[in-house]
Amino acid sequence: MVQVLQEALARNRAIKNKIKKETALKETRAFIQNIHYFRDEYLKNSQAPTEKVVVFDEAQRAWNQHQTSKFMSQKRGLSDFNQSEPEFLIEVMNRHQDWCVIVCLIGGGQEINTGEAGLVAWMQALQSSYPDWQVHYSNLIVNQDNYLQDTTIKNWLSTTGVEQDHLHLATSVRSFRSEKVSAWVHMLLDVDDQAKLLWHEIQENYPIVLTRDLQKAKAWVKAQAKGSERYGLVASSGARRLKALGVNVKNEIDVANWFLNSKDDVRSSYFLEDVATEFDVQGLELDWVCIAWGENFYYQNGKWHYQSFKGCK
């Protein structure tokens, strides 16, 4: 997502200010950057950062202590590093002598890769190492299990933090109707019969259709899109056997070109040739999506099953 945002802003800035895109890209990278660049910068020095306010998008994907220590030992030569990524990032901001603010944007249950700690790692770091920090949180964090499952941490947060209802983004910024789509997906994965009723509610604005013919699916998506609406082909990174249908999830894409380039560019999502996985699209959006469903996640005997492809099976 960072790469796409940087590129989109740089292209816009280059046209608006009549400067080279390379110059514009340097400027955008100054205030939108991958969290790992920010982290590595303050591994090298002990000064307080220039920023007084930092916003960590997808903060639930920060690494736990094991993953961070492993990376620091193998990639940075720091064998004695013993902090989780949230704890280190808070420590960096804590170097300010007066004030600072950390804003964590959290997606409940959206930890998608090895070692991603979830919201609990941020809470544990604050509880154990920075108890003097003021913590403001959405009421849903303690009232739902999508964000925190640890009862002890929930109780600590309820006791020491400041609950603020408006911190929850109840309505999608992308579309005021799409929150029902998220609810439908949640019900479907929970095998909740209410999903059937909700499906009928959303069909008019968010038609969801099913086919075993990939070419029909591509043609349908193209036919639905109007004007500048963007469409693309996506699949789970674990759906390895889709390769037999020409959908190779192991093939890396240039995500900025995929999301931003026009219909006449073969690298763009419009061509429905290069497939994007959850690692490419998380936090971003398409207007119409062709989802190629693989055998790594399937429904059988009343429940969902997950399997990974290894070797030849």
**Domain for residue 20, yes or no?**
no
Shared domain check, 131 and 51: yes
In this structure, the answer to whether residues 239 and 163 fall within a common structural domain is no
With CA atoms as reference, report the closest residue to 253 among 230, 278, 229.
Answer: 278
**pLDDT tens for each residue of 22-46:** 999 988 887 788 888 889 899 988 9
Digit-coded pLDDT (tens) for 163-176: 998 998 766 555 55
Q: Which of 48-57, 154-163, 253-262 has the lowest mean pLDDT?
A: 48-57
pLDDT at position 310: 79
**Please, is 93 exposed, middle or buried when counting C-beta atoms within 10 Å of its C-beta (0-12, 13-18, 19+)?**
buried
Which position has the higher pLDDT, 237 or 282?
237
Check whether residue 158 and residue 217 sit in a common domain.
Answer: no
Is residue 306 a contact partner of residue 296, using CB atoms and an 8 Å limit? yes
Residues 91 and 40 in one domain: yes
> Burial level of 61, CB count in 10 A (0-12/13-18/19+)?
buried
Range of the domain at 41: 34-167
Of 111, 142, 167, the residue at which a domain comes to its end is: 167
Residues 44 and 159 in one domain: yes
154 and 215 co-located in one domain: no
State the Cα–Cα distance between residues 41 and 55, nearest whole angstrom.
Answer: 16
Average pLDDT over residues 167-194: 80
Residue 196 lies in a domain: no
Per-residue pLDDT reduced to its tens digit, 42-70: 998 899 998 999 999 889 989 999 999 99
Continuous segment of H or E residues that includes residue 26? helix 21-31
237 and 154: one domain? no
* Separation CA 150–CA 136 (nearest Å): 18
- As for how many domains the chain has, the answer is 2
Look at residue 177 and tell me whether its pLDDT is greater than 60. no
Identify the band that residue 121 occupies on the pLDDT scale cut at 50, 70 and 90: very high
Same structural domain for residues 65 and 149?
A: yes
Element (H, E) at 56: strand 53-56
